[in-house]
A = this chain, B = another copy of it.
Amino acid sequence: MAGAGPHVAPAPPFAPPYWAVIFTSTLTDDSGGYAQTAEAMVALAERQPGYLGHDSARDANGLGVTVSYWRDEASIRAWKRVADHAAAQAAGQRRWYAAYTTHVAQVTRAYAKAEPTTRAS
């Protein structure tokens, strides 16, 4: 990951079936403390049993799309308990989001292009 280009890469496909939690949001103007808490939540997720990876982007227009990947649904439920507890401790959490939607889904297939396309013919 070092060298030229951004230090980001899409999470790879995992072995199906696995689960995805799709979290989309817009923020209010009152997002003090949000960035630090979001980082702490990612660090917390990464230590959870069943965590596989995540992708997260927030557009210049304000829309954020975060997808976390999990081995099974039980891992998601356990993570939700931990996350709800951590969020309750973060005093600002309730005022950060103007709107959000969560979709919980079972991934049945996945594929990737990992390398720049080279001329094959």
Known A-B contacts A10-B26, A20-B22, A65-B57; A104 and B100 likewise in contact (beta carbons under 8 Å) = no
Report copies per complex: 2
A121 CB, min distance to chain B CBs, angstroms: 12
The number of chain A residues touching the other chain, given as a range, is 35 or more
CB pair A57–B59 under 8 Å, yes or no, is yes
CB pair A67–B22 under 8 Å, yes or no, is yes
Known A-B contacts A28-B116, A104-B110, A106-B108; A56 and B67 likewise in contact (beta carbons under 8 Å) = no
In the A-B complex, the 4 residue pairs with the closest CB atoms = A105-B105, A10-B24, A57-B59, A6-B62
Sampled A-B contacts (6; CB under 8 Å): A10-B26, A13-B103, A22-B22, A95-B117, A102-B111, A104-B109
Other than A9-B26, A101-B110, give 4 A-B pairs with Cβ distance below 8 A. A65-B66, A69-B103, A100-B112, A104-B109
